[in-house]
Chain A
Amino acid sequence: MFSDKLLDNNSGKSRLLIDTEFLYQNSPCGYLSFYPNGTIIKINQTLLSWLQKDNEEITGKTKFSNLLSKGGRFYYEMVVLPLLQMQGFVNEINFEIKSKEESFPCLFNASTVTGEDGEVLAINAIILNITDRKKYESLLLVARQNAEEEKKRFEFLSNTIPNILWTALPTGEINFVNERYYEIFGSKTRSIRSGSFIHLIHPNERKEALAAWKLLLQTRTNFELEVRFETALRKYEWFLINAVPYKDKDGNVTTWFGSCTNINEHKEKERQTVEKLNDSLFEAGELINKNSETLREIAFNQSHLVRHPLTNILGIIKIMTEMEMDSSLTQMVSMLQVSAGKLDDVIKEIVYKTHS
């Protein structure tokens, strides 16, 4: 087999492949051993080449922390060395290591060698040069900082708006409210938890609001509801709740964005307007009633006045019917009697109807 052949071969090059010292010196990572006070005992060629230094310049002469940037040195003293002493190892610590001309980022893994009484005798470390990865990591760091900055900007912006703004998880759990929320409802509501809105709603509207909210979480559409909330001053005011689902590219709701606008003044004006309108209608009704009363009185009075001569006419017609008349005259008096009777009926009707 290929590997057996290599191991059997006694030529110099192949022997090196299994020589531990060769492996140590030429490993693709840096090896380093130092005393607890930092003095370097042993270092491999790989690391020396990264440092652009000779073994004689380093071994026994330099302390590990001298290879680090100033900030790295403080971090090593305050955090990394105590960790090593406490738990015997550290992993993936990111340091900047100074070489002769520039510096390179590294990952530092180390473990301690301890004596029988637990005392740390030496520290063994490997160092990985992560120049390329670090560039990528820096980009990630910048991206995260930007994201955090954006979040802060959103919160800042949201606090400049006179309305309450909030966001909720797809489950309906409120996970952000702006400062206005605390101004209006008081800081006792600081710990936001699911339902913190609900118990502030007026009992009369609570059930309806909860049902609407539950339905909304299923239908995932826009939402509008007017409810009364109990404010920090312990009185109920009208608010308009709006909510809009923010959906990802697959159409799943990732966040609910919502607002609560105080519409108490508007509601109050609306109520006052309705009241005014009612008053005006009542007044108009009163006026109409009054006018028709006057008309009734006029009709009543006038019908009496008209009735008096009519009674005379009816009396005269009665006398005429008892007189001798030719047939054509008799017929005319009879017609006169019918018409006067009809007129009398109409006047009686008016009197009857206008009689209060």
Chain B
Amino acid sequence: MKNVLQRNNVKIIGEGAETIIFAHGFGCDQNAWRSVITAFKSDYRIILFDLVGAGKSDLKAYDPNKYNSLDGYASDVLDICEALKIENSIFVGHSVSSMIGLLAANRKPSYFKKLIFIGPSARYINDSDYTAGMEKEDLESLLDVMDSNYLGWSQLMAPKIMGNEDNPILAEELSNSFCATDPDIAKKFARTTFLSDNRKDLPLLQVESLSLQTFDDLLAPEAASQYIFENTPGNTRVIINATGHCPHLSAPFEVINAIKSYLN
């Protein structure tokens, strides 16, 4: 159990009978939820964690074969639920973690009461009869940009590598480098994310779900959440007054209100 909690850098905060699990998306770590969780911590027990390879997760636990598909990440979510004996939880997933949550719920429906997807997409790359806004070569182009910003990673990571884990003040400041990921892992995660296709998993969902859609979300356009709405039993789709792929950062109040009104 300790291993699972360390592996995924699990943090438990707040008090309440019900549990909300927040799962961050590609490119960030659990710190991305900081503006949202304040609105829930007096009423819920909140579970935060880092996907393996991101944030302060155990990089040694990164197994390219396991994390070659979103199922590997879904297994980790189930591990966390088992370790903390979580049943009937609310799972909030951003971006790729929406489908990670869905895969986990398909495997163990009893662990989840409701799923909330922020900027979800069942498939990121256009298919013959499916439009998601991204072409295969766009993924290569993204990987090129990630390559070009490799050096930036070392710069962001440098203080962390110097080892200040024992100093809480420094550690706090360093959490600002929250988008820094080992470039090799980041690229593999990008491939796993953007080459995933979970369209066949949508009809299997037995848990109620909510999708939050923003305007101008380049990665998960309206067509993506519309597809999920049409193919997932028990899905509700809400368009919130926010733009871009990270409304929990750019418009946290909109996200908080949408989640609260769905839960109540």
> CB distance B145 to A86 under 8 Å?
no
In the assembled complex, how far is the CB of residue B253 from the closest CB belonging to chain A, in whole angstroms? 9
Given A65-B218, A79-B179, A82-B32, the answer on whether A36 and B250 have CB atoms closer than 8 Å is: yes
Compute the total of residue contacts between A and B using a CB distance below 8 Å. Answer: 98
From known contacts A86-B32, A92-B155, infer whether A75 and B146 are also in contact, taking CB-CB under 8 Å: yes
- Asked whether A71 is an interface residue with its Cβ less than 8 Å from the other chain, the reply is yes
Assuming the contacts A74-B138, A74-B218, A93-B152, asked whether A82 and B145 have C-beta atoms less than 8 A apart, the reply is: no
Cα A94 to Cα B28 in complex, Å, equals: 18
Q: A78 contacts which chain B residues (CB < 8 A)? A: 25-28, 95, 219, 245-246
Residues of B within 8 A of A93 (CB): 149, 152
Binding site for B on A (CB under 8 A): 36-38, 63, 65, 69-75, 77-79, 81-83, 85-87, 91-96, 105, 120, 137, 141
Inter-subunit contact A71/B143 (CB<8 Å) = yes
**Complex interface bits, B183-222 against A, C-beta within 8 A gives 1, otherwise 0:** 0000000000000000000000000000000001111000
Q: In the bound complex, how far is the Cα of B218 from the Cα of A72, in angstroms?
A: 11
Q: Which residues of B contact A72 (CB under 8 A)?
A: 141, 145
Q: Which residue of B lies closest to A138 (CB)?
A: B148
Question: Is B147 close to A, CB under 8 A?
Answer: yes
Fill in one digit per residue for B25-59: 1 if any A CB lies within 8 Å of its CB, else 0: 11110011010000000000000000000000000
5 contacts between A and B (CB under 8 A): A63-B216, A71-B138, A71-B145, A82-B179, A87-B176
Q: Answer yes or no: B243 CB below 8 A from chain A CBs.
A: yes
In the bound complex, residues from chain B placing their C-beta under 8 Å from that of A74 are 134, 138, 141-142, 145, 218-219
> What is the size, in residues, of chain B's interface with A at 8 Å between Cβ atoms?
37
- Taking CB atoms, residues of chain A closer than 8 Å to B25 are 78
Asked if A79 and B27 sit within 8 Å, CB to CB, the answer is yes
Residue on B nearest A36 in the bound complex, by CB? B250
Contact bitstring B98-137, A, C-beta under 8 A = 1, else 0? 0000000000000000000000000000000000001000
Cβ of B216: which chain A residues have Cβ within 8 Å of it? Answer: 37-38, 63
**Looking across the interface, which residue of chain A has its beta carbon closest to that of B134?**
A74
CA–CA, A120 to B217, complex, Å? 18
- Chain A residue with Cβ nearest B26: A78
Interchain CB contact under 8 A, A83 and B179: yes
6 residue pairs, one from A and one from B, having the closest CB atoms:
A71-B141, A71-B142, A78-B27, A87-B176, A85-B249, A37-B243
Q: Which residues of A contact B155 (CB under 8 A)?
A: 91-92
Asked if residues A77 and B218 are in contact (CB atoms below 8 Å), the reply is: yes
B120 to chain A, nearest CB (A): 14
Question: Does B18 lie at the interface of the complex (its beta carbon under 8 Å from any beta carbon of A)?
Answer: no
| Cα–Cα distance between A38 and B150 once the two chains are bound (Å) | 25
Among A71, A82, A91, point to the contact of B27 (Cβ < 8 A): A82
What's the minimum C-beta distance from B138 to chain A, rounded to whole angstroms? 5
Q: How far is the CA of A96 from the CA of B145 in the complex (A)?
A: 8
Is B140's beta carbon under 8 Å from chain A?
A: yes
Given contacts A37-B243, A78-B27, A81-B245, 12 further A-B contacts (CB under 8 A): A70-B141, A71-B143, A75-B145, A78-B26, A78-B28, A82-B28, A82-B32, A85-B250, A86-B34, A86-B179, A87-B176, A94-B152
- With both beta carbons as reference points, the residue of chain A lying nearest to B194 in the complex is identified as A74
Nearest chain-B residue to A68 (Cβ)? B145
What A residues does B151 contact at CB under 8 A? Answer: 92
Closest A residue to B246 using CB positions? A82
Contacts of B142 in A (CB 8 A): 70-71, 74-75
Is the CB–CB distance between B249 and A82 below 8 Å? yes
Q: How far is the CA of A83 from the CA of B245 in the complex (A)?
A: 13
Q: Which of A69, A71, A78 has the most CB of B within 10 A?
A: A78
- Tell me the complex Cα distance, A137–B146, Å: 14
B28: chain A residues within 8 A (beta carbon): 78-79, 82
Q: Determine whether B230 belongs to the interface, using a CB cutoff of 8 Å to chain A.
A: no
The answer to whether A71 and B140 touch (CB under 8 A), given A78-B26, A82-B32, A96-B145, is yes
With both chains docked as a complex, state the minimum distance between the C-beta of A132 and any C-beta of chain B, in angstroms. 15
Nearest neighbor of A107 in chain B, beta-carbon distance: B152
B244 close to chain A: CB less than 8 A: yes
**CB neighbours of B244 from chain A (8 A):** 36-38, 77, 81
Q: Are B31 and A86 in contact (CB under 8 A)?
A: yes
| B31 cross-chain contacts in A, Cβ below 8 A | 86
User: Would you give the shortest CB distance from B27 to chain A, in whole angstroms?
Assistant: 4
Q: Point out the residues of chain B lying under 8 angstroms from A85, CB to CB.
A: 246, 249-250
Q: Are A94 and B149 in contact (CB under 8 A)?
A: yes
* A94-B27 CB under 8 A given contacts A70-B138, A82-B249, A87-B176: no
Nearest-CB distance from B127 to chain A (Å)?
18
